Chains A and B, each alone.
Chain A
Amino acid sequence: MSGRRIFARPARFAAIAPYLWMVLFFLVPFAFVLKISLSQTAIAQPPYVPLFDLTAGWEALRAAFAALSPDNFKLLGSDDIYVFAYVRSLTVAVTATALLLLIGYPVAYGMARLPTRWQAVAMVLVIVPFWTSFLIRIYAWINILQHDGLLNQILLALHLVSQPVVWLSTDTAMYIGIVYSYLPFMILPLYATLAKMEPALEEAASDLGAPPWQVFWLVTFPLSLPGVGAGVLLCFIPIVGEFVIPDLLAGSNSLMIGQTLWLEFFTNKDWPVASAAAIVLLMVLLVPLLLYERVQKRQLEQGR
């Protein structure tokens, strides 16, 4: 009996229900996004011109396909608001991911060097904030950063500033919020690779006379690259489409694409343009998404 695939046949049937669920509620919806992104805006409920009706027959269907228009995509390309929003989203995501790596790496490194017993404790401590609500964590920062909040009180008391600093509605506040919310996602994959690393390698390098920074740069860092890659993807992709953090913490003069999409959808009720924006966002993220999938798959299915 082949040992490795003992459950092979019945396990295959286990896939049926989740498979159908994901096709219906994850894959099929994208077809609708695509369809509506190609249709015209209308003042109606729902606010777009229905493209085709399967009951209308073949002729109507052909006419509908002829009416598909890339207008919404042209609008996205020609209107500065959208172009700026995509550029800003990417800039924010790159900056925030770099900050996360810079802050997360030393923490993960410290964790990996703890005695084994304490490593488990440290890991739980890093994971627990991830379980508490996202919205609550952003709200916690509004408490601290507001005009008469704790941070300004401390700065005033220490005479570091003479009057309250405006923190809210600035990019600084937004970056604080993003780094705070995504830090566990950066630390955990980094820690996972750093903890598996053979300490003898670093010791050998320093025994051979390398100063600590060289040991780090020539041995530790290159060996931790898989963790760096996983952490970067895990943070970068969702940050590009982030809505809540920039909406609550950043100013409203330059929007990220997630905010523009939200605005088009809820305020302007322009579903076709919002759908087109979503499609473009998906295209922008396609390469990192595929990379992430490969990383995730390799991680979970190694040993098969």
Chain B
Amino acid sequence: MRKVSRLSRFNIASLALGLAFLYLPILILVIYSFNASRLVTVWGGWSLRWYHEFFNDRAMIEAAWMSLRVAVSSATIATLLGTLAAVALSRGERFRGRTLFSGMLYAPLVMPEVITGLSLLLLFVALNAERGFWTVTIAHTTLTMCFVAVVVQSRLGSLDRSLEEAAMDLGCDPVRAFVAVTLPLIAPAIVAGWMLAFTLSLDDLVIASFTTGPGSAPLPIRIYSEVRLGVKPEINAICTLVIALIAVVIVIASLASKLTSSQGESAAPL
């Protein structure tokens, strides 16, 4: 068997360029959030001025707080529902409406957000629901539980089923076997699913615009209305904070999956 390097120069170049393309813009954004000058053209030295400005901007802080609350609650509900859905799809026997069920779970992954947002709003209006925190939370749960279901389902699919069978053979009833054997094994995927749901909710502009009411705007809506007016260093600072938060979330997710995964393989984030 010959053992040649399969990596050509072209391969390395395209990889390096691809990764540079993905990371440079974000890096530049972060660096300029520390620029003391208001102008992008001028580097005025390192400064925390724009972070200071953000923390004194009450409206922005309120928006950020609402976004965080929505993200935590919708991610939690979505993780619960998404995990149940994944278990039903990969372990359950065929039930009536199964095709419809999986269709409803996979469609929102690619469905244009304007459609999802509009349809949910029309539902809330028809139900006469007061729009605000809860309507946005429900909308985000609907979208993100599908992502959780896919992440958990792919983990369930790669699981060695003989472990579950062993537990059943040793006298566990199905529910106990699930709690004692399956759940710990899919825990990394559940954690990753929660994190994904959290960041998706934190990020969403379109669906939130449709489903929120007057007077309560989550952070992306505030950022969007500022961005339309042009680049502001304060926005760079907010974006950097969001990126930092997401980075922390990713680190926790990967640590959690390392700790809980007995085989030492990390959960696929997608």
Contacts and interface: CB of A to CB of B under 8 A. Distances in A.
Interface of A: 1, 3-15, 17-19, 21-23, 25-30, 32-33, 36, 46, 103-104, 106-107, 109-111, 113-115, 120, 122, 124-144, 146, 148-150, 153, 180, 183-184, 187-188, 199, 233-234, 237-238, 240-244, 248, 258, 261-262, 265-266, 271, 274-275, 278, 281-282, 285, 289, 292-293, 296-297, 300-304
Given A132-B246, A146-B40, A244-B205, A278 B88 contact: no
B164 A133 contact: no
A109 to B, nearest CB: 6
Interface in B22-49: 22-23, 25-26, 28-29, 32, 39-41
B185 interface: no
Contacts of B63: none
A254 to B, nearest CB: 17
B91 A5 contact: yes
Contact of A293 (B6, B103, B126, B177): B103
12 contacts: A18-B101, A18-B105, A106-B11, A113-B8, A127-B270, A137-B26, A243-B113, A248-B228, A275-B122, A281-B112, A293-B106, A296-B150
Interface in B205-240: 205-206, 209-210, 220, 223-224, 227-228, 230-231, 235-236, 239
Contact of B122 (A19, A32, A131): A32
B165 A11 contact: no
Interface of B: 6-8, 10-12, 14-15, 17-19, 21-23, 25-26, 28-29, 32, 39-41, 80-82, 84-85, 87-93, 95, 97, 101-116, 118-120, 122-123, 125-126, 138-139, 141-142, 145, 149-150, 153-154, 157, 161-162, 164-165, 168-169, 174-175, 177-178, 182, 195-196, 199, 202-203, 205-206, 209-210, 220, 223-224, 227-228, 230-231, 235-236, 239, 242-243, 246, 249-250, 266, 269-270
Contacts of B209: 266
Contacts of B93: 5, 8-9, 11-12
A165 B269 CA distance: 39
A143 B175 contact: no
A300 B157 contact: yes
A303 B209 CA distance: 41
Given A140-B29, A142-B227, A302-B157, A15 B95 contact: yes
Contact of A6 (B18, B80, B101, B174): B174
A1 B168 contact: yes
B196 A22 contact: no
Contacts of A13: 88
A57 B130 CA distance: 27
Which 10 A/B pairs are nearest by Cβ-Cβ distance? A241-B112, A107-B18, A29-B119, A15-B88, A106-B14, A11-B92, A110-B15, A18-B85, A8-B93, A110-B11
B258 to A, nearest CB: 13
Nearest to B6: A113
Most B CB atoms within 10 A — which of A29, A114, A258?
A29
A258 B114 contact: yes
B3 to A, nearest CB: 11
Nearest to A104: B18
Given A17-B81, A29-B123, A242-B112, A23 B104 contact: yes
B91 A19 contact: no
Contact of A143 (B18, B29, B109, B199): B29
